[in-house]
Amino acid sequence: MIRRSTLRATALVALAALLPVTACAREADESAFSAGAGGADDPTETGDDGTSEDQDAPVGTIDWVACGSAECAELEVPVDYADPAGDTLTLSISRVPARGDRIGALFVNPGGPGGTAADFAITMGFLLPDDILERFDIVGVDPRGLGASRIDCGGDMTELYGVDYSIDSPEDTAELLAVSQDYIDGCEAGAGDLLPHLGTENVARDIDAVRAAMGDEQLNFLGFSYGSAIGQVLAELFPDRVRAMIIDGIVELGPGGIESAVSQAAGFEVALQAYADDCDADSSCPLGPDAIAAIEELQAAVEEEPIPAQPRDLGPGELSTGLALPLYSEELWPELSDAVADALDGDGTAMVGLADQYIGVADFDVYFAVNCIDFEWPETPDELLAEAVEAADESPHFAEPIVNDYVRCAMWPVAEVPLTPVTGPGAAPILVVSTTNDPATPYEAGVRTAERLESGVLLTYEGDGHTVVGNGVPCVDDIAADYLVDLDVPEDGTTCS
């Protein structure tokens, strides 16, 4: 479950991942940032002195046209930046122009991977503080594989997430691997030669290409959840081209895929306990006085037999997906309580509805294509499934659904090029925002990332939910606006609540 995206109370824009036949030969030991790594994702070329140097993004032209409340455009970029004269793909872009004296473009990304930044920019044109909207174009560049370059694996997500991810029989294993292989086959057929070129490093290069085409010398960036990974890669590849950067809900680069998934499962356990404590203290909560026990009763019940629901019955897969969604936002906790209570009364419709909301939030095809490239994964499905069982000792409610979701990455047909830790030498100050009870991107990942970045500045939000900038918390939004507009950098370690 590394669906690293953001869920906002006002708009479901993307989330972070619950859910996350012989594999082709996989070579997983090269870093996306290693000079001379070669291949489709090699970000460097060797200079005369033998050191690596950035390749400038090809500069195209952008013709903006009106589209509703925003402006839209497309830009052709190389499929492979190591071969700029080769095949191209088309990026979808949107912007909400600055209302007043323009400083530049603020590129925004909602996360995912698989959240559409073009749509998100329009949403953020309503949510961000007025001081920011006055001075910046809010620009969204759809990551490759979305929008005009959309890939289609042809899978049925309700089927993919309708199987039991908490493995307790050989039949469960066989069913999970079968639906996963069918999905992977669809990705090979539907995305073909584009699959190796969908990693985050290329997404960062695409954003820089749009910056250049807009005529700006520098860019500003606001990335949520998986968008924080894009920001870190931008800072590593193009430190001198970043004027200001905020990353919120941090995806830590460096740990392998299993380590990240296990950490995320622990984050969901913390969020579940926070929800349960709130419910148990509220006499009106239908699951009190022991919400955890009620949820465990429901988990045991669906393992025995599905609970009747519409449009399909509630089984273990739907339940694990539906449980995760409301933990992204405290405002959704009452919906979780009601859905569990209804299911225990014999009607699983509300819980299936929560699962379907989660499934519909972002593009899973891009989600897997990116995560299976960006992180190192076990070589075989059996190794991954064993890791999930071990993690369940510490995170009994979420470890197996989250970790086992990535069994597809142990079967993926494209070689990994894992992202390595980023320090961003020479970059402008990077504001790292981390929430103490974030279920999807644990707080400690933000702390470590701020420490590792040479110019990292940590802003702690003491609260619940996944990401906070633009959610109406005055302390956070005031700091963000002062930083973006005036480059007023807060003191490292500042706390809002």
pLDDT of residue 61: 85
Q: Which domain holds residue 26?
A: 1-281+357-497
| 289 and 255 within one domain | no
Binning pLDDT at 50, 70 and 90, where does residue 37 land? very low
Report the SS3 class of residue 158: helix
Residue indicated by tokens 């001081």: 131
Q: How many alpha carbons lie under 13 Å from residue 140 in its C-beta half-sphere?
A: 26
The residue-averaged pLDDT of 391-404 equals 96
| 291 and 418 within one domain | no
Catalytic positions, please?
225, 438, 466
| Cβ contact 75:190 at 8 Å | no
| 335 and 444 within one domain | no
| 198 and 58 within one domain | yes
Please determine, for residue 53, whether its predicted confidence score (pLDDT) is greater than 50. Answer: no
Give the helix/strand (H/E) hosting 34. none
pLDDT tens for 88-117 read: 999 999 999 999 999 999 999 999 899 999
**Rounded CA separation 352/339 (Å):** 9
**Rounded CA separation 490/333 (Å):** 32
Percent of the chain whose pLDDT exceeds 70? 88
Tokens of 100: 């007043």
Among residues 38, 131, 60, the alpha carbon closest in space to that of 484 is found at: 131
| 376 and 460 within one domain | yes
Binning pLDDT at 50, 70 and 90, where does residue 58 land? low
Q: Which own/partner pairs from 303-308 qualify as long-range (CB within 8 Å, at least 24 positions apart)?
A: 303/164, 303/166, 303/168, 306/348, 307/343, 307/346, 307/347, 307/348, 308/346, 308/347, 308/348
pLDDT of residue 456: 98
The residue-averaged pLDDT of 283-295 equals 98
Of 293, 325, 356, the position where a domain reaches its end is 356
**Rounded CA separation 385/371 (Å):** 17
Residue indicated by tokens 């910046």: 136
Q: Report the range of poorest mean pLDDT among 11-15, 65-69, 212-216, 297-301.
A: 11-15
Residue indicated by tokens 């985050």: 200
Binning pLDDT at 50, 70 and 90, where does residue 57 land? low
CATH of residue 486: 3.40.50.1820
- The separation between CA 106 and the C-alpha centre of its own chain, rounded to angstroms, equals 19
The residue-averaged pLDDT of 223-245 equals 97
Please determine, for residue 401, whether its predicted confidence score (pLDDT) is greater than 90. Answer: yes
- The separation between CA 318 and the C-alpha centre of its own chain, rounded to angstroms, equals 21
| Cβ contact 281:273 at 8 Å | no
The residue-averaged pLDDT of 420-432 equals 97
Please determine, for residue 449, whether its predicted confidence score (pLDDT) is greater than 70. Answer: yes
| 423 and 349 within one domain | no
Please determine, for residue 435, whether its predicted confidence score (pLDDT) is greater than 80. Answer: yes
| 286 and 405 within one domain | no
| 288 and 203 within one domain | no
Instruction: Tell me the pTM.
Output: 0.85
Of 311, 337, 356, the position where a domain reaches its end is 356
Looking at the structure of the chain, the number of domains it has is 2
pLDDT of residue 60: 79
Binning pLDDT at 50, 70 and 90, where does residue 55 land? low
pLDDT of residue 28: 33
pLDDT of residue 56: 58
**Rounded CA separation 75/160 (Å):** 33
Of 327, 356, 385, the position where a domain reaches its end is 356
CB atoms within 10 A of CB 480: 26
pLDDT tens for 468-487 read: 999 999 999 999 999 999 99
Binning pLDDT at 50, 70 and 90, where does residue 52 land? very low
Please determine, for residue 433, whether its predicted confidence score (pLDDT) is greater than 80. Answer: yes
pLDDT tens for 261-285 read: 999 999 999 999 999 999 999 999 9
| 127 and 96 within one domain | yes
Instruction: Compute the mean pLDDT over every residue in the chain, rounded to the nearest whole number.
Output: 89
The residue-averaged pLDDT of 397-419 equals 96
Report the SS3 class of residue 302: helix
Among residues 338, 359, 351, 361, the alpha carbon closest in space to that of 311 is found at: 351
| 416 and 275 within one domain | yes
Binning pLDDT at 50, 70 and 90, where does residue 410 land? very high
pLDDT tens for 143-166 read: 999 999 999 999 999 999 999 999
Binning pLDDT at 50, 70 and 90, where does residue 496 land? very high
Percent of the chain whose pLDDT exceeds 90? 84
pLDDT of residue 14: 35
| 9 and 104 within one domain | yes
pLDDT tens for 3-19 read: 434 333 333 333 333 33
| 426 and 297 within one domain | no
